[in-house]
Amino acid sequence: NAGVMQNPRHLVRRRGQEARLRCSPMKGHSHVYWYRQLPEEGLKFMVYLQKENIIDESGMPKERFSAEFPKEGPSILRIQQVVRGDSAAYFCASSPVSSITPRYFGPGTRLTVT
């Protein structure tokens, strides 16, 4: 059973470009969570999605950031018009229906904005 997969693992963007980060949850998992980790910091919750639904986006910046988890395909975190402050590691986690099971984290995408 493959784990949570994220791609790309490293992404470099110039200021003003768009960044698109992908997350494929573990097989059988229908819940996806996105977290951001700034250098030397803990993980900050961004958004929680189920298939075709955003359940909680209270941690998402109001502008430039969006997330989706379509019926088919991976979850995507999109950052438009990136700025240097968006440079961080973005982790995706997945869970099955039961939230007792710990979230399984993907390897992360390290975004660098130049």
CB of 45 to another protein, least distance (A): 5
CB of 42 to another protein, least distance (A): 4
Q: Is 90 in the site for another protein (CB under 8 A)?
A: no
Residue 37 to residue 108: CA distance in whole angstroms? 10
Question: Taking Cα atoms as reference points, which of 66, 58, 4, 8 lies closest to residue 31?
Answer: 4
Residue 53 to residue 61: CA distance in whole angstroms? 18
Q: Is 42 in the site for another protein (CB under 8 A)?
A: yes
User: What residues between 46 and 65 interact with another protein by CB under 8 A?
Assistant: 48, 55-56
Q: Is 22 in the site for another protein (CB under 8 A)?
A: no
Question: Taking Cα atoms as reference points, which of 35, 22, 14, 37 lies closest to residue 84?
Answer: 14
Among 11, 25, 35, 113, binds another protein (CB under 8 A): 35
**How many residues form the binding site for another protein (CB under 8 A)?**
21
Q: Is 39 in the site for another protein (CB under 8 A)?
A: no
* Edge-to-edge order in the sheet of strand 5-7: 5-7, 19-24, 75-79, 65-68
| Site residues for another protein per CB under 8 A | 31, 33, 35, 41-45, 48, 55-56, 91, 99-100, 102-108
